[in-house]
């Protein structure tokens, strides 16, 4: 299974890189699948509402109203009808790639199970909305969908009378079922919206809007396709004839021919088995989790930075349980924590300059602590210096292109685990002449926010800021996935040459740092421990 996943991963990584130069990492559609799903959902909803102004919900008049929409009203309602259809198709395609991608990148197991499990009902809701939508057209295709679906439902022992009977002869046709379909076609997307909201409840700052450029491109593409291939009805439904499978929308109704071939029992068993399998996938097999982050109250001033940076809503602020003069303290929910360490990088107590032999910070990863990192950094500093001025120390995320051991490389759970003061420490203690930060690719941080947060800390847009005195030209950032492994040594060698040309780093300050104390513990106010030094 792991080999299959790794092969898929390489495939995704390479394929996505083709889009990077075309769209840039921010606009890359494959890095924005969930966001595109939301966007398409809203397009489908708004176009659906507009269509309902002109659509006649009676079984005998529905077809005629759609002919009117695609005929006389083609330039607005007709266009809207096509947009509604093509956005629904694209939504399914985007959702299927989104599911595959989350599986391939292993973002659904262990403590990340929640988004996966809450995604499964969405999958069925999307298909049910599409099927009921085709029913409403009441053309030959709708007749085929209606008879096939009702025969399939009749295989269940729930209905006193076979519901397929409604579609046997024209005399038996009633509006009853049609009205139910109209109701379902509106109710299911509402349920889906609720589920989509729940789907994001365990992730922080979930992105539900694609970048503007990508949204405009998607809309333009949909409008163009809608003009070139306007959605049309087939011949009107005629219950006096047996419907043939013609002009299927293979994206939404692609499995329908199977319903005609295989016995209903086999299909129902398969649907049930696939659903159970989908729900169970996060535990097949369960992921071996690293221990959750741990708060040390002696070093926690209740500043809330860790809450703001945790990508998985695993930290809450609660009333203080010790005698410290602060109102709140951080509390980690071990069932949500994925041990990414981003909170450790955010904590003002994560100061490697402190003289304590065993460095303890406010919130730390037991399996990859700040103290471990400092010890490894110091060990690299103890290596003999060649005097060339080109020594590079690399902090490498275990999910990115630097996921293999190498000389001068320190592995971290996520690039966001590095507190900015660690960069200051390395340079001001002359441990290296430059630092490389090797994280995941920009569009695709394994821990969602690690790359973005690191960039913001360096740019001094987000607490904790990297001090101004740290020369940015001595920092190299490499955002690349594991399939770009070959790229990293070359980038580091180039950087090392650049450092040599720059000459040795002149330290401006060697001042040690003390454990920062907050100036206030007022809610929402954060502490900026770095501000008093070198600024």
State which H helix or E strand residue 389 sits in.
Answer: none
E-state strands within 162-255? none
Binder of residue 208, out of ligand HEM, ligand SF4, none (CB less than 5 to 8 A by kind): ligand HEM
Per the structure block, which two tokens stand in for 21? 């130069």
- Cα separation, 152 vs 405, in Å, equals 56
CB of 417 to ligand SF4, least distance (A): 8
Question: Which part of the chain contacts ligand SF4 (CB under 6 A), choosing from 2-10, 346-354, 455-463, 497-505?
Answer: 346-354
Choose between 242 and 284: whose C-beta lies nearer to ligand HEM: 284
Residue nearest to ligand SF4 (CB): 362
Per the structure block, which two tokens stand in for 454? 């690191």
Q: Which residue has the tokens 């955010």?
A: 346
Of residues 420 through 459, those in contact with ligand HEM by CB under 6 A are: 448
Q: Which of 310, 415, 422, 458 binds ligand SF4 (CB under 6 A)?
A: 310
Per the structure block, which two tokens stand in for 28? 């890359």
Of residues 283 through 302, those in contact with ligand SF4 by CB under 6 A are: 292-293, 295, 300-302
Q: Which of 43, 122, 225, 492 binds ligand HEM (CB under 6 A)?
A: 122
Question: Which part of the chain contacts ligand SF4 (CB under 6 A), choosing from 80-88, 245-253, 307-315, 369-377?
Answer: 307-315
Q: Find out whether 442 and 508 touch, Cβ atoms under 8 Å.
A: no
- Cα separation, 92 vs 100, in Å, equals 12
- Cα separation, 110 vs 398, in Å, equals 17
DSSP state of 370: H
CB of 281 to ligand HEM, least distance (A): 8
CB of 170 to ligand HEM, least distance (A): 38
Q: Which residue has the tokens 């395609």?
A: 93
Residues in the chain: 535
Binder of residue 116, out of ligand SF4, ligand HEM, none (CB less than 5 to 8 A by kind): ligand HEM
Question: Which part of the chain contacts ligand SF4 (CB under 6 A), choosing from 10-18, 55-63, 164-172, 337-345?
Answer: 337-345
Binder of residue 120, out of ligand SF4, ligand HEM, none (CB less than 5 to 8 A by kind): ligand HEM
Return the closest-CA partner of residue 70 out of 215, 231, 211, 213.
231
CB of 40 to ligand HEM, least distance (A): 8
Binder of residue 435, out of ligand SF4, ligand HEM, none (CB less than 5 to 8 A by kind): none
Query: Beta-carbon neighbour count of residue 380 at 10 Å?
Result: 17
CB of 446 to ligand HEM, least distance (A): 9
Buried b (16+ CB within 10 A) or exposed e, 506-532: eeeeeeebebbebeebeeeebbebbee
Handedness of CA 152, 154, 159, 161 (dihedral sign): positive
Binder of residue 203, out of ligand SF4, ligand HEM, none (CB less than 5 to 8 A by kind): ligand HEM
Of residues 75 through 94, those in contact with ligand HEM by CB under 6 A are: 91
123 in contact with ligand HEM (CB under 6 A): yes
- Cα separation, 73 vs 468, in Å, equals 62
Q: Find out whether 330 and 307 touch, Cβ atoms under 8 Å.
A: yes
Q: Which of 51, 91, 146, 342 binds ligand SF4 (CB under 6 A)?
A: 342
363 in contact with ligand SF4 (CB under 6 A): yes
- Cα separation, 512 vs 460, in Å, equals 21
Question: Which part of the chain contacts ligand HEM (CB under 6 A), choosing from 98-106, 363-371, 409-417, 520-528?
Answer: 98-106
Per the structure block, which two tokens stand in for 507? 């330290």
Contacting positions for ligand HEM (CB under 6 A): 34-35, 37-38, 41, 91, 95, 98-99, 102, 107-108, 112, 115-116, 119-120, 122-123, 126, 196, 199-200, 203, 206-208, 278, 448
């Amino acid at each position: 299974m792991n080999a299959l996943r790794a092969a898929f991963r390489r495939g995704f990584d390479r394929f996505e890189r083709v889009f990077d130069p075309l769209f840039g990492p921010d606009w890359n559609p494959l890095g924005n699948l969930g966001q595109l799903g939301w966007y398409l959902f809203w397009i489908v909803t708004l176009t659906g509402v507009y269509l309902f102004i002109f659509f006649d919900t009676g079984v005998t008049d529905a077809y005629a109203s759609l002919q009117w929409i695609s005929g006389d009203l083609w330039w607005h309602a007709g266009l809207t009808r096509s947009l509604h259809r093509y956005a629904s198709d694209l939504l399914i395609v985007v959702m299927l790639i989104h599911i595959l991608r989350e599986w391939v990148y292993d973002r659904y197991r262990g403590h990340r199970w929640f988004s996966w499990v809450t995604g499964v009902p969405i999958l069925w809701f999307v298909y049910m909305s599409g099927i009921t939508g085709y029913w409403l057209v009441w053309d030959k295709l709708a007749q085929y969908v209606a008879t096939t679906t009702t025969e399939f439902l009749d295989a269940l022992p729930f209905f006193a009378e076979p519901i397929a009977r409604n579609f046997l002869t024209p005399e038996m046709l009633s509006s009853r079922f049609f009205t139910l379909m109209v109701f379902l076609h509106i109710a299911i997307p509402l349920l889906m919206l609720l589920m989509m909201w729940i789907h994001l409840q365990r992730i922080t700052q979930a992105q539900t809007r694609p970048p503007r450029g990508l949204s405009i491109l998607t809309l333009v593409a949909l409008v163009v396709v809608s003009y070139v291939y306007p959605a049309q009805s087939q011949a009107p439904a005629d219950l006096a004839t047996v419907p043939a499978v013609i002009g299927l929308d293979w994206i939404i109704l692609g499995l329908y021919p199977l319903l005609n071939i295989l016995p209903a029992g086999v299909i129902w068993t398969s649907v049930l088995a696939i659903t159970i399998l989908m729900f169970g996938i996060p535990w097949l097999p369960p992921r071996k989790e690293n221990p959750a982050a741990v708060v040390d109250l002696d070093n926690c001033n209740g500043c809330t930075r860790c809450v703001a940076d945790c990508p998985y809503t695993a930290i809450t602020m609660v009333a203080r349980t010790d005698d410290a003069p602060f109102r709140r303290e951080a509390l980690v929910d071990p069932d949500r924590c994925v041990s990414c360490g981003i909170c450790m990088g955010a904590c003002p107590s994560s100061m490697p300059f402190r003289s304590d032999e065993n460095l303890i910070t406010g919130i730390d990863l037991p399996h990859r602590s700040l103290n471990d990192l400092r010890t490894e950094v110091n060990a690299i500093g103890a290596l003999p210096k060649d005097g060339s001025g080109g020594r590079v120390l690399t902090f490498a995320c275990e999910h990115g292109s630097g996921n293999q051991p190498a000389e001068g490389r320190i592995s971290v759970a996520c690039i966001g685990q590095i507190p900015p003061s660690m960069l200051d420490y390395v340079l001001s203690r002359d441990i290296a002449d430059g630092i490389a930060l090797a994280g995941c690719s920009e569009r695709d941080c394994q821990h969602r926010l690690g790359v973005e947060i690191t960039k913001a800390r360096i740019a001094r847009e987000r607490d904790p800021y990297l001090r101004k005195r740290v020369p940015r030209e001595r920092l190299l950032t490499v955002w690349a996935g594991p399939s770009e492994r070959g790229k990293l040594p070359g980038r580091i060698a180039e950087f090392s040459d650049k450092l040599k040309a720059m000459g040795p780093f002149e330290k401006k300050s060697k001042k040690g740092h003390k454990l920062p104390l907050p100036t206030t513990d007022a809610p929402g106010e954060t502490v900026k421990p770095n501000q008093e030094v070198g600024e």
